[in-house]
A and B are shown apart, each in its own frame.
Chain A
Amino acid sequence: MTRRTRIVLKAGVWILCLLPFLILVWRAVNGDLGPNPISFLTNWLGQWTFRFLLLTLALTPIRICFGLAWPALFRRLIGLFTFFYASLHFLIWILVDHFFNWDQMLGDIVKRRYITVGMLALLLLLPLAITSTTGMIRRLGGTNWRRLHRLVYVIAVLACLHFLWLSKAVRPDAYLYTGLVILLLGVRVWNALARTHRKAMQTPAVASDTGLSR
């Protein structure tokens, strides 16, 4: 892939990733947020955070199962968009939903388990976003960086719990997303097991887990 196509592709993916946000702004401007706009904003942003998280997690399985390595080019981009949507989701919660009612929010973080795990997931996303730059990868060294970024698996589990616990009754989409997380993490476990097995017989596998090809 030439540098040029890579730039064009990245720009395209960037715009696609921004689309859910642009649609939301468009709907807000047109008064199309429904009877409970604040809840609509929160749900929309939460749903898209989860979808982007699933997409980030899908890139390695795509390589493992279909031998396609190029989607991993966009891992950083999609990962950062996950953080973008998670931050907006959180901001709506403090700015609009509770309007700086710190006492109530702190109480919620401690007492409500779905908020506790959601908050934790956001906090864990923070170091991943901060260390996403090329300079940071160099400074940390590949091994350390990779180890740190395995936090995303913990984040995925927390995100599932957050979704499963938040509604009056368990929603089908919460089950669906949780199933997908199990599948995407399962492929990795299966692959790692297969690799250890292979290692015993042949040369060590080359593929690393970061997928950040450069």
Chain B
Amino acid sequence: MVIKRASKFKASEITDRKVYLNRRAFMAGATALLLAPSAARADSTPQGESLKATRNPKYSLEEKQTKYDDATSYNNFYEFGMDKEDPKKYAKTLKTRPWTVMVDGLVQKPKRYDIDDLLRFPLEERVYALRCVEGWSMVLPWIGFPLAVLLKQVEPLGKAKFVEFTTLKDPEQFPAQKPSIFSFGGGLEWPYTEGLRLDEAMHPLTLLTVGMYGHVLPNQDGAPVRVVIPWKYGFKSAKSLVRIQLTENQPPTAWNVAAPNEYGFYSNVNPTVDHPRWSQATERRIGEFLRRKTLMFNGYADEVASLYAGMDLKKDY
């Protein structure tokens, strides 16, 4: 027996899938309209002394570069304050001349480099993706040279296993380093230190960086010299360096000391290992509307995955 029962809805009442999807497109369009004026703003021309550098196509993304204005006004640089606008606001207080970087520790020939010495190395431009641990990313045209070139000059000893980077500590130049209940730097200890395994530091992608967008680094982006490690979360790429030291033991690193269960020594970009409090599966590219999927090692898996062969990246996050 066939029981015939009229459908509760007439076929004509069912929303067509296309309309249903259109509605989403409409809402997205409406919000995009709200955000459009912000996206449509004209960009400024880069400031500061210009640098001569040849583009290295092997290590340059073809993707659209982040606006210069965005790259210089949306920064995490806690020495200047915890808000994204703080580094630009207080950047003036940093004096980048005279400036020297001590390269020492377990090396044959320790040397103090003047910033002008560093600018005389053959400079190249590389367009790297930068992925912040907070879930946003940029595409930035850096200028610098491989850190390996510098490290080879000082001749690391056989005992050297790690490299420690130290940022300038000077409360006169970095206002947030002044002890105060209102600017406790997010729990970070000064000076800011970061570190790499020696093989990571010697990797050709690891760039000792002195400029971006064809010019010297703006203060808020880590002037006058910083390191850029594109396959790791942004905080690994220490800024305004005064010392690069080769060590036998794994050096303490700022964020790892502040919250060891949240920020590991390695901190490789990894969409499959979440931060304990948020997902790392997607990111918002600054200047884009929709989130995009985060890539393993920030898209540099072909180059760097072998460095971590046999390691459990869930444990060594």
Contact = CB atoms under 8 A, between A and B. Distances in A.
Given A31-B38, A39-B136, A169 B284 contact: no
Pick from B70, B78, B277 the residue with the most CB of A within 10 Å.
B277
A2 interface: no
B31 A112 contact: no
B40 A170 contact: no
A29 B38 CA distance: 8
B277 A114 contact: yes
Contact of B183 (A95, A100, A172): A172
Contacts of A38: 35, 284, 289
Interface in B97-148: 133-134, 136
B149 interface: no
Interface stretch (B57-65, B184-192, B199-207, B243-251): B184-192
Contacts of B136: 36, 39
Contacts of A96: 31, 35, 289
Interface residues of A, number: 33
B186 A169 contact: yes
Contacts of A99: 24, 28, 290-291
A186 interface: no
A95 B27 contact: yes
Given A104-B279, A104-B281, A166-B277, A172 B184 contact: yes
Per DSSP, chain B at the interface is: loop
B278 A112 contact: yes
Contact of B279 (A36, A37, A107): A107
Interface of B: 24, 27-28, 31, 34-35, 37-41, 67, 69-70, 73-74, 76, 78, 82, 84-85, 133-134, 136, 181-184, 186-188, 258-259, 274, 277-279, 281-282, 284, 286-287, 289-291
Interface of A: 28-39, 95-101, 104, 107-108, 111-114, 165-166, 168-172
24 contacts: A28-B35, A31-B38, A31-B40, A33-B38, A34-B73, A34-B74, A34-B85, A35-B69, A35-B73, A35-B286, A36-B284, A37-B38, A95-B31, A96-B35, A96-B289, A99-B24, A107-B279, A108-B278, A114-B277, A166-B278, A169-B187, A170-B186, A171-B82, A172-B184
Given A28-B34, A28-B38, 17 more contacts: A28-B37, A31-B41, A32-B38, A34-B74, A34-B84, A35-B286, A36-B84, A38-B35, A38-B289, A98-B291, A104-B281, A114-B277, A165-B277, A166-B277, A166-B278, A168-B133, A172-B182
